[in-house]
Amino acid sequence: MLPSVIGDWLRRWNRKLHIYVGLYFVLFTALFAISGLALNRSTWAVFAGGAAKSELEREIDSPSGETQLARARDLMSQLGVSGEIHQIEVPKDVDGLNVWVLRPNRLVIIRARLGERIASVEIQRRAAWDAIRGLHEFTGQSRFDPSVRRDWWLTTVWAIAIDALSLGAIFLVASGIWMWLQLRQKRIGGSIALAGGCLVLFVFLVALKWL
């Protein structure tokens, strides 16, 4: 009797959580599905991007800090710029510090001339579709270079949100399959649908090696 009671409880909560998790992530799912499409079809006119550039100059104090990252952060703080530091460069020919700062919808390039105590701030604002694509890719982590680390707290929060969405998606897949297994009248149709998806995955993940 007990296993049946536990089974009923698990089935009921599996269904409830499938609904709740799905609803919680519905906007995140829509964002990543649409931005994924926009990344794959970036040449489609509907996904046209572009950037608007503006530039200004400000006086600065010599940035303080033990490391280049700390000096770049101090420079950004003086200029009121925040975001993920993409690149720091110390030019060879002048006494300066160049910092590239990324956000999903803009790139800010700071070129500080430390001797003159002046920094030029170039802001490249991305159009809406580029910003949506930017959200998809904004993790502060390089796929190729493991030494690249997130250095802005909001990037870390966004990365946690992406992790949560991924775990939520895995839960939705598993809980959905479990719910379907309880529907005897949908076994054949569901098996065909699931097998189709698995076949596609097998072809691309495994069989392409031989094609």
Partner 1 sequence: MSKRLYRWIRDLHLYVGLTISPLVALYAISTLLMVHHWFPPEGDRLPVYADVPVVVDLTDEPVPMARSVLRQTGLTGEIGSVWFEQDPKRIRFQVLKPTETTTVVIDQATNLASAEHQQMGVRRATSFLHVMPGPHLVKIRRNWVWVRIWGWTADAAAYLLLFAAASGVYVWLYAKAERRAGIAFLAVGAAVFVVLVASLVL
Residues between 106 and 145 with contacts to partner 1, criterion CB under 8 A: 131, 133, 135, 138-139, 141-143
Residues comprising the chain, all counted: 211
If binding is defined by CB under 8 A, does position 154 make contact with partner 1?
A: yes
| Binds partner 1 (CB under 8 A): choice among 45, 184, 188, 209 | 209
| Closest CB to partner 1 among residues 92, 210 | 210
To partner 1, the closest distance from the beta carbon of 113 in angstroms equals 29
Dist CA 150 CA 33 (whole Å): 24
Residues 82-111 that bind partner 1 (CB under 8 A): 103-105
Cβ count near 154 (within 10 Å): 14
Quick one: DSSP state of residue 90? Answer: -
Q: Judge whether 84 and 137 are in contact, CB under 8 Å.
A: no
- Residue 171 CB, nearest distance to partner 1 (Å)? 9
Residues in region 32-71 near partner 1 by CB under 8 A: 33-34, 36-37, 39-43
* Of residues 21 and 97, the one with the C-beta less far from partner 1: 21
Please tell me the distance from the alpha carbon of residue 45 to that of residue 71, in angstroms, as a whole number. 41
- Could you give the CA distance from residue 73 to residue 96 in angstroms, rounded to a whole number? 15
Toward partner 1, which CB reaches closer, 47 or 111?
Answer: 47
How many Å from the N-terminal Cα to the C-terminal Cα in the chain?
A: 53
* Amino acid letter, 174: A
Strand partners, 109: 100, 122
CB of 98 closer than 8 Å to CB of 63: no
Query: Which spans of this chain sit near partner 1 (rule: CB under 8 A)?
Result: 16, 19-31, 33-34, 36-37, 39-43, 103-105, 131, 133, 135, 138-139, 141-143, 146, 154, 157-159, 161-163, 165-167, 169-170, 172-173, 176-177, 180, 183, 186, 189-190, 193-194, 196-198, 200-201, 204-206, 208-209, 211
